[in-house]
Amino acid sequence: MKFFLDTADIDEIKTLNDGGMVDGVTTNPSIIAKSGRDFKEVIKEISKIVTGPVSAEVTATDYATMIKEAEILRKLGDNIAIKLPLTFDGLKACKVLSSERTMTNVTLCFSPMQAVLAAKAGASFISPFVGRLDDISSDGMDLIAKIVQIYGNYDFTTEVLVASVRSPDHVLSSALIGADVVTIPTKILRQFYDHPLTKNGLDAFVADINKAGIKVL
């Protein structure tokens, strides 16, 4: 499973990328706006830090403007994936961009058949939003399971990118189901290695080493 960071925090991306934990980054205009920096400059900087896909989202809602924006965004780095909404215009733009070998990430997916349409349009990634479904008392992980099964039935090459992740359990369930990618807030990713029992064990180990006076250097 690949881990994408769901952030535009440059320092966090650099730190976690140096630890070998980052396979890509997903961004959106709302996330970048919080940094107070220029949207395109942030995308360009992120694309130089990570080698994997960096999703850059169009702001337009009509096909013609989506294509114009995509022309600008994909020049920001060789690893840019154009993020498009799951609308008719978004799917139309996805088909054109995919035919030009541009990576695409179709977002705001909430049903299995939406995911099928994105795959037929040639999307590189489909982003189902599990947290938002959970918020309305629907089962977000059930959606992931259905999409994974359908894609497997027909050998679609579109990768399932689990989005709107709210907890470590979302990530664990995604891995058990067989999703290709999970885009994760940095605070959740850090929880995976920052386990209290690991800390307790290390503290005991250090205490024993100090007591015995053992030194390597």
Q: In the chain, what are the domain boundaries? A: 2-212
Residue 215's pLDDT is: 87
Residue 86's pLDDT is: 98
**Tokens at 87, concatenated:** 């609308």
Query: Where do we find the tokens 């027909």?
Result: 154
**Tokens at 191, concatenated:** 């929880």
Q: Is the pLDDT of residue 29 over 90?
A: no
What share of the chain has pLDDT > 90, as a percent? Answer: 91
Q: Tell me what percent of the chain is helix, strand and coil, each rounded to the nearest 5.
A: 55, 20, 30
What share of the chain has pLDDT > 70, as a percent? Answer: 100
Query: Where do we find the tokens 């992931």?
Result: 144
In CATH, which of 3.30.450.70, 3.90.226.10, 3.20.20.70, 3.20.20.80 is domain 2-212?
3.20.20.70
Active-site residue, 83 included: yes
Mean pLDDT confidence for 171-188: 97
**Tokens at 90, concatenated:** 């978004």
Residues 97-125: tens digit of each pLDDT: 999 999 999 999 999 999 999 999 999 99
Please give the distance of CA 209 from its chain centroid, rounded to a whole number: 41
Q: Could you tell me the maximum CA-CA distance found in the chain, to the nearest angstrom? A: 71
> Annotated catalytic residue: which of 40, 48, 75, 83?
83
Residues 125-163: tens digit of each pLDDT: 999 999 999 999 999 999 999 999 999 999 899 999 999
